[in-house]
A and B are shown apart, each in its own frame.
Chain A
Amino acid sequence: MSLRILNTVYLGKATPGTGGGSGGGSHNLGYYVDETALTTAHPTANAGDFAIVGSTDTIWIWDDDTSAWVDSDTKGQVESVNGRTGVVTGVQDSATISTVSAATLTQELANNTIYDCGELTALTITLPATINADWACQVNFTSGTTPTALTAPNTIKWKGDDLTSSVFVPVASKRYAVLFFYDGVNVRGIVQGIA
Chain B
Amino acid sequence: MFVKLVNGHIENAPVLLQDNEKTYSNPSTETLRAFGYKELVEEEMPEDDGKYYTSQYVENETTITKVWVEYTPEEESEPQE
Contacts and interface: CB of A to CB of B under 8 A. Distances in A.
Instruction: Verify that A and B bind, or say they do not.
Output: yes
Interface of A: 122, 147-154, 156, 164-165, 167-170
B25 A164 contact: yes
Given A165-B16, A169-B16, A149 B27 contact: yes
A148 B20 CA distance: 22
Q: How large is the interface on B (under 10, 10 to 19, 20 to 34, 35 or more residues)?
A: 10 to 19
Interface of A is mostly: strand
Shortest 9 CB-CB contacts between residues of A and residues of B: A150-B25, A169-B25, A147-B26, A149-B26, A149-B28, A167-B23, A154-B23, A164-B16, A169-B15
Contacts of A150: 23-26
B26 A154 contact: no
Nearest to B16: A164
A167 B16 contact: yes
Given A164-B16, A167-B16, A169-B15, A154 B25 contact: no
